[in-house]
Every structure is written in C-alpha cells, then in structure tokens.
Structure 1
Amino acid sequence: MSAGVSAGTGVMSSLLGKLSALLGDEYKLLKGVRKEVEFLKRELGTMNALLVTLADAEKLDPLAKDWRDKVRELSYDLEDCIDIFMYRLGSGRAKSRFMRKTMGRLKTLWTRHEIASQIQNLKARVEEESKRRQRYRLDSIISKPGTMNIDPRLPVFFAEAKGWPLMARGIKSSDCSWTERKSSKSCPLLVVEDWGKTTLAMEVCHKIGGNFQCQAVVSVSSTLDLKKLLKDMLYQIDQYEYSQSEMWDEEQLVRRLRHILEGRRYLIFIDDVWRIHDWKFVASTLPENNNCSRIIVTIRITAVAKSCCSNLGEQIHDLEPLDYFDSRRLFLKRIFRNDGCCPAQLEEVSHRILKKCGGLPLAIITLASLLASKTESMDQWELVLHSISSTHEDGSELEGLREILLFSYHDLPYYLKTCLLYLSMYPEDSEIDRVQLTWRWIAEGLVTEKIGQTLEQISDGYFNELVNRSLIRPIEIGIDGTARACRIHDMVLDLITFLAIEENFVTMLDTNKFNLLPEKIRRLSLHNSYEERHGVIEATTRSKMHVRSLCAFGSIKKIPELFGFHALRVLDFDGCEWLENHHIKNIGGFFQLRYLRFRLAKISKIPT
C-alpha cells in the first residue's frame, strides 16, 4: 500500500505503515526493539493527526511552525533508518539457505543491534517533541474548513486567452501595420508588461505569422542558455540544418542561423528578456535584411526595454491592464463558460473581486479557476474575496497577485500542494513532459493509492486538477483532452520555489539563485553551472544519505559522486552530455531507486 508524502507532514503516513510492517511476523525484532517500535507507532500516530491540522493552516504561530518543521524532519530521519533496516534484513532472507544459516544470521543479528541503538536515539527525539507539544498546547489549534470538490473538467487554459481583445491591452489593430512596412530593417516590437505579455505577443504572432517565410518562438528568461536558445531557433527554422548541428558550438550556430535568415523574410518571437547584454547576444544572431523581417521581444523590465530600443524603427508597447468590461468577460467565461451571464446574487461580489484583480489577466484567470470549483453560493465567494489582498492597497501589484496565488495554493488538497511544490525542481520556462513528471511523483511516493485505480491514473488526475486550477499550463492538448506536457508561469514558480525552500522540500542550486543549504537536503535540483559556488559539492556529499531526488538540468559540468545515496528514489540527468559509464557505476547500490533517466549522456551500460 502506498501512503503519499506531504510537504507539510513529511513522510509520516508512509512511516506509520512501515512501523506496522516491522511489527508483523515477517520481521523478527529483538524484544527491546519491538517495544520501542510499538512506542514510536503510538506516539507518531497522535503526532500525525496534529501535523495534518497544522499543514492545512494558512498561518501558524512561530512556535507551532517550529514544532511542525522539526517533527516533519524527524519523520524523514526515522523512515531513512527503517528503510535501511528493512533492506538489510530482506537481503539476508534473499540469500540461499546455506548463507542464511551462516553469515546471514550474523549479519541480521548485527543489524538488529545497530537498529536498536539508532531507534533509541530517534525515540529520545520523539519524546522531546511530545513534551514540547504539551508545553505549547498545540492541540488547541483549530483547523480551517475543508476544501471544496474540484471541478473535474479539463479546460484548455490558453483557448480562453484568444478571447482577450488586443485593443484592451494597448495593442490596437493598426499596430500590426508594422509588419507591412517596406523597411530594410528587422524592427523589434518590444512589449513590456508584468503578466500577460507572452500570451498577447503569441496572439500577434498567430495573426501575422502567415506573412512570413519562417518563424520561431524562443525564450531567454532570467538565465540565458545561448546554445540551447540557438538550437531551439534552428530546429523551428530548418530541421535539416538542426539535424547536422549536434557538435556545433555557439559560434557555428550563430553563423549558420545568420546565413539561413539572410535570404528569408522571418518572424522571430523572443520571450522574456531580462538583461541588456542577453539581448545583445541574441540580437547579433538576427541579420538585418531587405525582406521586411520582423522581431517581437517581450520584456518585463522597462529599463531594459528602453536600453534595447535605440533605433527609430523600434517600438515599445507598454501593455495596459484589461478594462472592467473585458475583465468581466474573461472572468465569467472561465467560471460559467459564457462571457455575459452572472447569477444575480453574485453580481455585487463579482464586481468587488474584479476590482481587486486590477485588470491583471493572470489574477483574473487564477481567481476564476478557484471559484469555478466552488458552488454558486454568495458565502463561498465572499470567503474568497475576504481572503485576498487588494492589488492596490500597498501600491504593489506583484505583492497583491502573490497573495492571490498563495490563497489558491492554500485551497489545494494536501496531495496537490505537494505535487505542485515538486515542480520547483524544474528550471524556469521548462517544458515539463507529463508522463515523466507523473512517474517522478509516483517514484517519490507523492501519489496515494485508491481502490480501483492505478497509480498512473491517479497521478494523471493530479495533473489535470492542477491544469483545472490554472496553476500549470497544458501544452499540445490531444483530441482526448490529454496534454503532452505543461509549463508553469513565472509567478507561480516564484511562489512555489519560496514555499519549497521554506519547508525544506526542495533545494535548488544555480548560478543566479543560490540559497543557503539546509542541514539535510531532501531533494536537490542542479541548474546550470552551479559548481562555481564554493562548497556546494562538499555540502551535498555530507547530506547524501538524506537526498530522495537528485536532478540536473542544462550545462552541468560537475556532479556529486554517485555513491552512498541510499535514500535516493529519483535520479534524473537531463542533458549532461559528458556523463559516462564510470559516473554511474555505483547506482546499483541505491536500493530505493525507482526512476532513472539520462538524456544526451555518453552512457552505454547500466549497472545490474
């Protein structure tokens, strides 16, 4: 039986199941050890009930939060200890009868005495947390009301975005005339706005794409991976040339792209430029020809947009918020599948909710998705209204939007919270394959078994629920309603990254967002050339007994030595081209490993 892992409660449910198994006939424990395990099961059972209550609370007293965090980490340590114990005893039973009668008995006897010592230490920690619980009177904390059922429909989020009027966002129909000007230059259209810029720029591309011989859509984001960007662009423009580019470096890619584009009328959409020098690198790839080619660039930072626009032919469009009419249309269409009819009893409260959204499309979509899963009860809508902060009260639209997203997060069931936090493992702007993601959820124990359903069916349901809440964006929807992959909005990623770090659920390392390492790393995600930071490999090595997921993305040049990761469930190296057979020679000893993936690596043999 599978008991799901929770970001708030750790592995407490799974641990209780394993303690029950240890007390069964399959495992013969020393008399003293059995009594300690019985004590742990009783005490941790009552702790788990309180942990569930605390996990559902939106705001916690600092003492309660500290207790919850310590017990959560204690549950991980206990499960790691029990897993090793059960594995060693299991290995002894798996040997031949002769080995069991000789070396096997000595080994299991030693293992039982070793586990007795470890359990004594862990028992002392459990007793201390029980005493703190009584001192703090944590059982008096009242849980919030239960969450509502989720709308089972799978809406295609971006299909609704096509209804957003361009004129309402500051892009008039006449603005697209820039594509028809007989200019010898490739004139960038730089769109500046915090949320919604990508969707609207894509809509412009959709309207005008037929006027061009070739087009490509690429993303820069906060960390420029120039080689990946150039290869993405080449793949969309000329797949034959892309097939020849495996060994090309950046300079060769630039030369080939310029050669291809010089003779064509092209449309290039470059999304999410953060830095001036990043734009200069990308711009050097795009030749100015006499074919009236055009470039669309989206930038969230106004100063960067102004610095990038130095020529008269270049334009900046600062997107305006949706007006009330179009805000209401988008809001009601998401909830009621129409753009004009709202139940009379909800008119006034819907007006106040829209006022708080401030015309920001992401805020409107997020709140509408939340309300779509509620009943048409004014009390329910009032509860949502009073639980969010106005986007204008403190002068910060971003802070207000963060509050809206945070409220949507708290409204999730615990299993969806955990699966959403797991997405913080991925770098910004990742295209996340649905099947790979759901398999990783299963391998990590985030999916709880249900009678009559396979784990794959349950995890697919989790994925669809997150889409339905507009917390992830589906990609390539099939005729059966299944998405091949998903992306996560920058704002949502920022929020879940903050929460995942706060709860020591995921540790992310890259060159731009380097965080203090926790004492015990549970899930480690390596982005870009993180090893330039001093001491990362050493700190990871010290914590390797506790790591459950180890994932590397992009141009990683150095990884921790793959030895001794006994708690590891997921090992995923995406694009580590230099990885060879000798790097993975020890992974056969990772007895908990359930998911293994290498892409582009020079690996020809997997250990037994």
Structure 2
Amino acid sequence: MGTLLPKLADLLTEEYKLHKNLRGEVLFLKAELESMEAALLKISEAPIDQPPNPQVKLWARDIRDLSYDIEDRVDKFMVRVGTSAREKSRSRFRGFIDRGVRLLTRAKVRHNIGTDIKEIKSQIKEVSERRDRYKVDGVAIKPIDPAIDNLRLSAIACCIDETSDEIVKRIMGDDDESKQKLKIVSIVGGGGLGKTTLANVVYERINTQFDCCAFVSISLNPDMERIFKNMLHQLDMGNYLIVVDDIWDKSAWEMIKCSLPENEHGSGIITPTRILDVGKQAGGVYQLKLFSMLDLGKLFYLRIFGYEDKCPIELAQLSEKILKKCGEVPLAIITIASMLASKIGKENLHKYWSKVYQSSGSGLEDSLVMKNMRRILSISYHDMPPHLKICLLYLSLYLEDSEINRHDLIWKWVGEGFVHKQCRRSFYEVGEEYFDELINKSLIQPAYISTGNKKAISCCVHDMVLDLITYLSNEECFLTTLCGQKPMTLNCKVCRLSLQITNEDDAKQMSTLSLSHTRSLFFFTGFNLVNIPALSSFPVLRVLDLSSCLQVDNHHLKDICKYLFHLRYLDLSRTSITEIPRQIENLQLLQVLHLRGTGIKEFPSTFVQLGQLVCLTLDSTIQLPNGFGHLKYLEELEAYIKIISQPNMHDLGMLTELTRLHIGFREWHKSYEEPLHQCLSNLIGLEYLRINGCHGSLGSACDSLSRGPQQVCSIDMWERTIHAVPNWMVYLSTLSKLEIVVVRLGDRDLQMLGSLPSLGHLSLGVERPTVGKDERLIIANGYLFQCLKFLYFWSHTIEVVFAQVAMPKLQTLSLIFDVERAMDQFGHVDIGLENLAAVEHVEIIFSLSPHTRGEAVEAAIRRQIYMNHNNPTLNFR
C-alpha cells in the first residue's frame, strides 16, 4: 500500500491525461484502498493479547494480492506512457507517420488501463463487502509507541562467567602434559540456551594465547567447501584454537576432524551442538545446564532497567511469572525484555506486562521447544509496526548462518518498496533506521561492528528467530523457497522465489510454479541460470540479484532490458557481462544498479534516461557518460571518473541528493582542484566521502569551502598521499572516521585532527620523516582527541610520543614502523604507551632488516605495556 497509493495519485496528474470518467474511477480506487489500509493498520496495531483470527488473516491476504495486482497494472501503464514520450523526443523529425503511430499507441494504452481499472473496481467491491461481513473496522487502535531506547545487551556474559571458567580450564589443561595435547570440548544443549555465546566468550578470552584461531559455523545443510575456505582464511600456523559451531550431523564432524589431526602443540577445539550424539562423537561433552533463576533475573532486569537488581515492586511478581514462562532460555528472555524495555516511562506498565504474560508460551520442554519458542518470539514480532515486520520477514530468504551485509540488505529493502523516503531523509538513512531498530529489538544480531561509529556492518539471524520468520513467511505466502526439498507456499501465488540448491528436481518443481506474479528472484552461490525458465517468464519482477550465478552474459542483460520493465533492483556484480545495450533506458523504474567486477567499459548515452536511479556502484574500468548529472535522485555513487573536461565535474556537482560518494581519478592534475572544490560545495548532504587518485594537495582550492559537505561522517583518502591535512576538515563537526596519508606530519596537522569533536576512528599514515634527529611530536592534552577510540598509525620511525592524559578514550592502538629507521632516528622506542589510560588492545607491527635484532625493541614495548595500569593486551607481528 505504501508504494501503490502514491502511484494512484500520480495517475491523476496532467502528465497521464486520463479521461474524466477514468479519473473518477481512479479516485474511487484510491479512496477504497485508503480505507483498506486504515483497516489493515488497525489489525497490525491490535493489542498483543488479541491476535487476528484466521478469517481476518485471509481477508488481509486478499488485500495484499489485490494491491500487488493493481500496482503491476499501474506500473505497466506508466512505463508504456513513458516509453512513448521518450520515443517522441527522439523521433520528432521522422515525420507525420511516426507521430500518428504514437498517438494510436498512447490511445490503446489508455484504453487498456481503463479496462484494467474496471476489472479492479469489481474485485475491490468484493473484498470490501468481505471486510464489512467480518467487521474488521471494529478492531481497537493501540497508541503508537516511540522507538525503543538504544540500550542493548551485547552478550549474556553475566550468566556464564562460572561456566566459561570451566570451559577455559578444559581447553588450557591442568598440567604440563595435558597442556600439550589436543583438547576437544563439546558444548551440548537445546536451542537458545547460549551455546554459541558461551563459545564466543571463551574464544575471546583465550584466542591471544594461540598462534592461530578460527570460528566457523556448520548449520543443518553445510556447504563444506565454503566452511573449509572460511577456516583456511582464518588459520595461519602453529598451535590452534577452533570453534566449530552448530554441528547437526556426525558425518559433518568427521570431515572437520580429518582436517584437524591431533598434535602435541596444545591445540583446542570447541564444538557447540544441539545433538548429544554428535557431542559424544566429538568427545569432551559438557552438558550445558539451564541458568539459575537468579542469573536470568539479572539478565532480564539489566536489559529493561539498566541495572541487575532494579525492578519496581508492583512489577516484581509479574516479572517472575514472565521469567518462568520463558522457559529459562536466555534468547527468549532477551527478546521479551527488549520489548518490555520500550515501554519504560509509560503509563499502565502493569497492564501491559500482564498482557505479555498472558500471551507468552507456557514453557520450553523437549518436543515443545520450537513451538513454544515461536510463541514467545512472535510476541515481539506482533508488537512491531508493519514496516519492521516485512523487513524482518525478508531475512527468511537467506541461508542459515548467513552473514548479511547491512549495505546490500538496505538497498534490497529499497528495491522491494519496503523503505519510504521521508522529508529531508534519504532512502538509505531511513533503511538504516529500520536495521538499527531490528538490532535494538534483539531480533537480529550484529555480526561485525565498525571500529569508527560502532555500527553493525553486517548482521546474522539467530536460529530461533529464523525458524519463526520462516514459519510466518510460509503462513503469509511471503516467500517460496526451493532447497532440494518440497517447496513451501505452493498453495499461494509465488511472490518471491529463493533458489538455494540447484538440481534437476528443483528445475522440475520450478516448471510447475506460476511465476507471472513473482516480484523478487534470489539465487545463492553457484546457481546456473540454465536451470530456470526464461527471464520473460517473470514479467513483473522487481528485484533480481545475479551476482552469485554462473554463466551470466550479455544476452541475459538484453533479455532483462527487453522484458523486465518493472525492475527496481538489479545486481550484476561479478558476472561475465561486457556490454550494456542501449535498451537499458527501458528500465525506467530502476533504483539500484550494481556492476562491480564485470567486463563493462562504458555506458550508452541512453543510460542517463534512468531518472529513478538512487544507487549506482561501478568499477574503475567503467566510464560514466556525459550528462550523468541528469540522474538527479542519486543518493549513492561509487565510481571512478576520468576527468577529460569540465562537464564531468559539473555533472557530479548536479547530484545534490548524494549522501555517499566514492570517486577516483586515473590521473590527477592541479587544474582539477577548483572543479572538485565547486563540486563538493554543491554536495551539502554528503555523509560518506572516499577519494582515490588525488596525489598532492587537496587543500588550496578546497580550503574556502563554506557550505559543502558539512554533515560528512566518514572520509577515506588512504590510497594516495596528500601534502597535509586540508584546512577545510576542521569544520567537519560530525566527522567520526578518517583515513588519510600525509607526506609529513607536523604540529598543525595534529592540532587540526585533535580538534575534530566527533572523531572516533583515525587511520593516519606518514610517508616521510617530519622532525629532526632525537625529536618527536608530543601528543599531550593540547591535542584533544577527546572521542578517539581507535588509532591506526603508520610511519617509518614512530615520530610521536604519548604524554600523560593523551587520547583519554583510546581503546585500540595499532602502530606500524621500521625498527632500523626508528633506532637510527631516536636510538630507542620509548613512546609513552604507559600513558594511555583507557587503552585495552595494542598491536605492534614492525619490519626488520636481516642484520637488525628486534629483541630490544620488543622488550622496550613490553616494559611500557607492563607499566600501563589498564593492563592492555599486546600483540606483536
């Protein structure tokens, strides 16, 4: 409904020139659908203890199918009218006959939409009568709650200190003899008990004591090649510590075990699993016990109130009942607590908590684990607004144990129409808010967190949550999955199709499906397009990701441009495509286009007709066409621009909606500085900026930036060296992450960097020595660095020394230098590491020539770390 209703309003504009009677029919459709949307919102906002009955669910499903059908027809009409208009602009000199053909074509298109609308009107009346019969409008409206607080519980470590001590003891060994043997600990327990969390806590505690470490997940249907590649990527040499998570089958363990022979290097393996037989096969079974009610209470209260022992007296008895109904499973407790936390500070807390208690399951016991877990988690699901529900359901298309990239996921949401642009906020910004809300509600988990702004770069879905959303997705006919088994949702239209395993059976099953209503098509690694019907079988497709497919070439893209006029999202990354046809202009609704890792060299001139494009990512080999400034809705551009004339920079400066920009120059000349300055001055909404290929100065022409990208949060200029920190950076009050390489480092540079009020992540490279022999730049309280938490510093000689109170919040420090040059310059490496009051992790990476001994350097570094009262960890490379 969120995308359909605005389109009906667009139909009434002068551009489409509908007849008077037809305009009246469109107004009728719009009014009826608005009424239906209001009824649907009432259903979704019903109290959590009053879920909709099956009849109402069926009615809602009818509305969804009807809205899909209407939107498909409206899109077809808009595309055909738009195509005719483009042909008119190109062909106005071809004469009277061409103009006559166009008039007849447009008349036929309008006649067809008139017929479609009459059919739709009949269907709407039927659905509306059904609404009246079941009195859906009588559902009470629940007040809208504000977004939940940002308090998150990142792990359940408060419950597992004692348990993790036991696992550590088993892995490390008690005596010298046992310390040398290979130790295996199998953590066995039911889903949601915290096996993976426990393994991760142990892993983080002791991984620095092993030469190499790896953490891999197996899952129910393991891809062993992917698993071994993942393991090899993490491992190096010597004694190892490996966590092999979520093993379901004995044969999978045997394959893993064969690759990890026993040795006398004191290695360790931890295997969390739900299957006791698998644990026995691996050995060293540790039966995970249910946590005590005291520990679970601490977890519960900490998540809701921020304290382990704080609970209002009037809620104490209810909280004990809720804890008991959660079945002593930490995941369920975290999930329910996240929902309850959103209501703190509101009235009638006792009434709301009572509804939660009445709605939750009655316990988790053996065969009822999954059923009751769904009931518990579904409370949080039904408590969410509609836009978050559908974004969460969307994650059911991913494979188990997938690490889901935040950036790609948000743009897929945009392509699906789940994200609606708001006043002065970009599509991506709104999508980020949805993503963060799902994390805050503990329904998805951060997999990798940025060191700069501490945002999750990727996420994963807990098995229990995946089970729930897969169940709901099937129930609501949201997604059809083919994975070598009987496909789901065959009794419904195939709205979205996820192809996870390619074999003959899947191909046969696909031939039996009705694909004419499929809006999204997903493939996973290694899928061969030969095994699916022709792309023309998917006439209303909106989202198509071919980046994981085999044998995708130019004829596939020609078919896409010929048949898939409804596409909003197209990913052709890492395919064999080498040429974009002129017919790319047919994709008038395209919003997201990814072309990284292809053989494409240039765009046709017709590419600039894609007026709805908001995200474009390219390689350095692809040249943007002149006139790309007409893509006025672009929010994100990742491209290399070969400057050959002023119009290129002028085009870039026209993209005033840009929030994320990654540009690179194959060649850099000083004459480019002024055009770049003018360009950046226009991009006032820029939040992320990455510039490659600008060797030399970016200062002189850009120092007069008066308006420019004042809201930029991240700048990456790491790949090329510039003379000094540009003056204009001092005005960037929101800059939280900076990666930069300068020729020399001086007091001025440190003062400018230290004055940036939001800078949390700094990667700083220095190409040449700055100071004289025996001189160092002293980082003291004069260089504020008040927010800096991560510092990666590369130079040849370590030209800085940390004085007391320097960088008061720095947690992670990486230093890279050349030992021989440092000793020649200063004669020692005493750099004040003992003065970094908050530092937790220090990494020293140094290079040695064949005749240089590093023992003295290492001893000096260790002495400074030993003197640091915060007792940071130290890693040498």
User: TM-score, normalised on structure 2?
Assistant: 0.61
Asked whether the equivalents of residues 222 and 274 of structure 1 are also in contact (C-alpha less than 8 Å), the reply is yes
Asked whether the equivalents of residues 396 and 473 of structure 2 are also in contact (C-alpha less than 8 Å), the reply is yes
Distance 1:25 1:324 in 2: 67
Report what 1:126 is aligned to. Answer: 124
Distance 2:279 2:381 in 1: 32
Report what 2:37 is aligned to. Answer: 48
Deviation at 1:223, TM superposition (A): 1.1
1:464 pairs with 2:424: no
| Letter of the 1:322 counterpart | F
Report what 1:427 is aligned to. Answer: 399
1:345 pairs with 2:342: no
Please list the CA deviations of residues 46-78 of structure 1 after superposition, one character each: whole Å capped at 9, or x if unmatched: 222222223344533332222221121011001
Q: 1:418 aligns with which of 382, 390, 398?
A: 390
Distance 2:175 2:573 in 1: 43
Q: 2:76 aligns with which of 67, 73, 84?
A: 84
Higher relative contact order (CA 8 A, sep 6+): 1
Distance 1:35 1:408 in 2: 42
Return closer, same or farther for 1:518/1:162 CA change in 2, 3 Å cut-off: same
SS of structure 2 residue aligned to 1:449: coil
Asked whether the equivalents of residues 170 and 320 of structure 1 are also in contact (C-alpha less than 8 Å), the reply is no
Q: How does 1:153-164 map to 2 (within 5 A)?
A: 153=150, 155=152, 157-158=153-154, 160-164=155-159
Deviation at 1:171, TM superposition (A): 4.3
Please list the CA deviations of residues 104-157 of structure 1 after superposition, one character each: whole Å capped at 9, or x if unmatched: 1111111122223333322222222223233333333x23523532224163x4
Distance 2:373 2:488 in 1: 24
Deviation at 1:13, TM superposition (A): 3.5
Q: 1:326 aligns with which of 283, 295, 300?
A: 295
SS of structure 2 residue aligned to 1:234: helix
Please list the CA deviations of residues 496-538 of structure 1 after superposition, one character each: whole Å capped at 9, or x if unmatched: 1111122122222212563243542222221132653353332
Report what 1:93 is aligned to. Answer: 85
1:553 pairs with 2:524: yes
Distance 1:59 1:382 in 2: 16
Please list the CA deviations of residues 369-409 of structure 1 after superposition, one character each: whole Å capped at 9, or x if unmatched: 11111125333322322221221589734333221100000
1:22 pairs with 2:20: no
Return closer, same or farther for 1:448/1:78 CA change in 2, 3 Å cut-off: same
1:400 pairs with 2:361: no
State how many pairs are aligned.
Answer: 563
Q: 2:262 aligns with which of 282, 288, 303?
A: 288
Distance 2:538 2:174 in 1: 56
Report what 2:577 is aligned to. Answer: 603
SS of structure 2 residue aligned to 1:13: coil
Report what 2:187 is aligned to. Answer: 191
Q: How does 1:158-173 map to 2 (within 5 A)?
A: 158=154, 160-167=155-162, 171=166
Please list the CA deviations of residues 299-351 of structure 1 after superposition, one character each: whole Å capped at 9, or x if unmatched: 11223333x24xxxx21112111101211121122222222233333322222
Return closer, same or farther for 1:438/1:340 CA change in 2, 3 Å cut-off: same
Asked whether the equivalents of residues 304 and 337 of structure 2 are also in contact (C-alpha less than 8 Å), the reply is yes
Asked whether the equivalents of residues 168 and 323 of structure 1 are also in contact (C-alpha less than 8 Å), the reply is no
Report what 1:276 is aligned to. Answer: 250
Identity fraction in percent: 39
**Larger deviation, residues 560-569 vs 126-135:** 560-569
Asked whether the equivalents of residues 218 and 246 of structure 2 are also in contact (C-alpha less than 8 Å), the reply is yes
SS of structure 1 residue aligned to 2:335: helix
**Larger deviation, residues 525-534 vs 434-443:** 525-534
Distance 1:379 1:69 in 2: 31
Where structure 1 has 5 or more consecutive residues not aligned to the other structure, the ranges are 1-11, 239-260
Asked whether the equivalents of residues 243 and 269 of structure 2 are also in contact (C-alpha less than 8 Å), the reply is yes
| Letter of the 2:142 counterpart | P
SS of structure 2 residue aligned to 1:204: helix
Report what 1:216 is aligned to. Answer: 214
1:371 pairs with 2:343: no
Please list the CA deviations of residues 434-460 of structure 1 after superposition, one character each: whole Å capped at 9, or x if unmatched: 111111111211112322322211111
Distance 2:364 2:219 in 1: 27
SS of structure 2 residue aligned to 1:524: strand
SS of structure 1 residue aligned to 2:158: coil
SS of structure 2 residue aligned to 1:164: helix
Please list the CA deviations of residues 263-294 of structure 1 after superposition, one character each: whole Å capped at 9, or x if unmatched: x3222211111122222222222222232322
Return closer, same or farther for 1:573/1:280 CA change in 2, 3 Å cut-off: farther
SS of structure 2 residue aligned to 1:547: coil
SS of structure 2 residue aligned to 1:551: strand
Q: 1:202 aligns with which of 170, 191, 200?
A: 200
Q: 2:362 aligns with which of 376, 387, 390?
A: 390
Deviation at 1:569, TM superposition (A): 2.4
Larger radius of gyration: 2
1:145 pairs with 2:142: yes
SS of structure 2 residue aligned to 1:546: coil
Asked whether the equivalents of residues 336 and 380 of structure 2 are also in contact (C-alpha less than 8 Å), the reply is yes
SS of structure 2 residue aligned to 1:535: helix
Return closer, same or farther for 1:359/1:40 CA change in 2, 3 Å cut-off: same
Return closer, same or farther for 1:190/1:601 CA change in 2, 3 Å cut-off: farther
Q: How does 1:514-533 map to 2 (within 5 A)?
A: 514-529=487-502, 531-533=504-506
| Letter of the 1:280 counterpart | E
Distance 1:402 1:364 in 2: 13
Distance 2:575 2:184 in 1: 38
| Letter of the 2:252 counterpart | D
Deviation at 1:25, TM superposition (A): 1.5
| Letter of the 2:218 counterpart | V
| Letter of the 1:369 counterpart | S
SS of structure 2 residue aligned to 1:533: helix
Distance 2:549 2:566 in 1: 23
Report what 1:112 is aligned to. Answer: 110
Return closer, same or farther for 1:211/1:481 CA change in 2, 3 Å cut-off: closer
Q: 2:482 aligns with which of 487, 509, 513?
A: 509
Report what 2:843 is aligned to. Answer: none
Asked whether the equivalents of residues 154 and 468 of structure 1 are also in contact (C-alpha less than 8 Å), the reply is yes
Return closer, same or farther for 1:605/1:298 CA change in 2, 3 Å cut-off: farther
Deviation at 1:424, TM superposition (A): 1.1
Distance 1:465 1:530 in 2: 38
Report what 2:631 is aligned to. Answer: none
**Larger deviation, residues 569-578 vs 421-430:** 569-578
Deviation at 1:417, TM superposition (A): 0.7
Return closer, same or farther for 1:344/1:172 CA change in 2, 3 Å cut-off: farther
Asked whether the equivalents of residues 546 and 567 of structure 1 are also in contact (C-alpha less than 8 Å), the reply is yes
SS of structure 2 residue aligned to 1:269: strand
Return closer, same or farther for 1:171/1:410 CA change in 2, 3 Å cut-off: farther
Report what 1:63 is aligned to. Answer: 55
1:336 pairs with 2:334: no
Asked whether the equivalents of residues 576 and 599 of structure 1 are also in contact (C-alpha less than 8 Å), the reply is no
Report what 1:593 is aligned to. Answer: 567
Return closer, same or farther for 1:600/1:302 CA change in 2, 3 Å cut-off: farther
Deviation at 1:176, TM superposition (A): 3.9
Return closer, same or farther for 1:129/1:469 CA change in 2, 3 Å cut-off: same
**Larger deviation, residues 289-298 vs 465-474:** 289-298
